[in-house]
Amino acid sequence: MFGYHSYNKNIRNIVVLFGTVFNDITVKRLKSDGTTEREFKIPIAYGPAEKFLSKLNQQDTITLPRMSFEITDYSYDPVRKLQTTKKIKKVKSVTELNTIYNPVPYDFNITLSIMVKYSDDGTQILEQILPYFTPEFQVTMNEMSTMGIKRDIPIILTGVTTEDTYEGDFITRRALIHTLTFTVKGHVYGRTTDQGIIREVDVNMGANMNDRKDVNIDIKPDPLTADADDTFGFTETITDL
C-alpha cells in the first residue's frame, strides 16, 4: 500500500501463538481399577468446527476427540493506542539503523471448538484449560524478531458454551462440542525503514534577545565520503539570517 510492500507476519504469529497454547492437551482412558489404560494427545488444527464435523460420517477420515480454532473477527482497540509518530529503533550495524512506528492495537476474537464423542473426554479437556484463565492468561510473544520486540500478550476467555449434535439417528455419529471464545490483545506493525549515516546537519537558530543574531549552521564531515571507522573532521559553515 502507498507504493510499499510490508508483511511482518503479525496476524500469522497470533494464530501460531494461540495454537501453541493449546497443543499439549491430553486425555486419559482409565481401567476399572483406576489405572491408566491409554493416554493420547488431542490434535488441534486451524479451521471452522463445521469443516471437521462434516467429515465424521466419512470412513477413515477423522476421529474424535479433536480441537479446532479460527479467527472470527478483528476490532481496533483505541484504549491501547500509543503515540502514532513515535518510532522504535534498533541498531543494525555501525552504519545502519532500523526504525518502525508504534504498532496499531487490535483485538483478535478467536473461537476454540472442542469436539468429543464422550462427555468425560470433554470435561478432561476443559479442566486443563479453564483454571488458567482468570479470565486472562499472559503469553510472551516475539512480536517483531527483526526489531527484537517481545511483548506479553493477554489471551482473555470471554465465554464457554456446550452443544450436543446427536439427534438419535443410528447412522449419525454423536459429537459433543464445547465452544470457547477468546480475545487476543495483539498489535499490527507497519513497514520497517532503514536509516543510513547522517552526513549533514543543517540548523536555523534564532535568539531574538538583545544583540544575538539569527544564524544558520551547516555541519558536514570532512571528507564527505568518510565512513564511521575513518579518520575525519568536520566542516562548519555559519551564515547570518
Residues 20-46: tens digit of each pLDDT: 999 999 999 888 888 888 899 999 999
Does 69 fall in a domain?
A: yes
The CA R_g of the chain, rounded to the nearest whole Å, is 29
Is position 4 within any domain? no
Residue 90: which of 141, 139, 143, 138 has the closest Cα? 143
Number of domains comprising the chain:
2
Whether 3 is in a domain gets the answer no
Q: Calculate the average pLDDT of the chain.
A: 87
Q: Are 113 and 44 within 8 A, CB to CB?
A: no
Residue 172 maps to a domain:
yes
Instruction: Give the pLDDT score at 165.
Output: 67
What's the half-sphere exposure (Cβ side, CA atoms, 13 Å) at 194? 8
Residue 170's pLDDT is 52
Answer with the residue of higher pLDDT: 116 or 94: 116
* One domain, residues 142 and 221: no
Here the cell at position 224 is 564527505
Task: Tell me the mean pLDDT in the region 155-160.
Answer: 97
- Residue 86 placed within a domain: yes
Shared domain check, 173 and 81: yes
Cα–Cα distance for residue pair 116/179, rounded to 1 Å: 11
Q: Is residue 5 part of a domain?
A: no
2 within some domain: no
Half-sphere CA count of 122, side-chain side, radius 13 A: 20
Given a cut of 70, is residue 7 above it in pLDDT? yes
CB 187: neighbour CB atoms within 10 A?
A: 22
CATH code of 61's domain:
3.30.2000.40
Please state the pTM of the whole predicted model: 0.79
3-state secondary structure 141-165: EEEECCCCEEEEEEEEEEEEEEEEC
Structural domain boundaries, residue 207: 201-240
Let me know whether 59 and 159 are in one domain.
Answer: yes
Residues 126 and 233 in one domain: no
| Whether residue 190 is found in the same domain as residue 210 | no
pLDDT band for 65, please (50, 70, 90 cuts).
Answer: very high
Please state, for a pLDDT cut of 70, what percent of the chain lies above it: 91
Are residues 171 and 206 both part of a single domain?
no
Pair 205, 180 in one domain: no
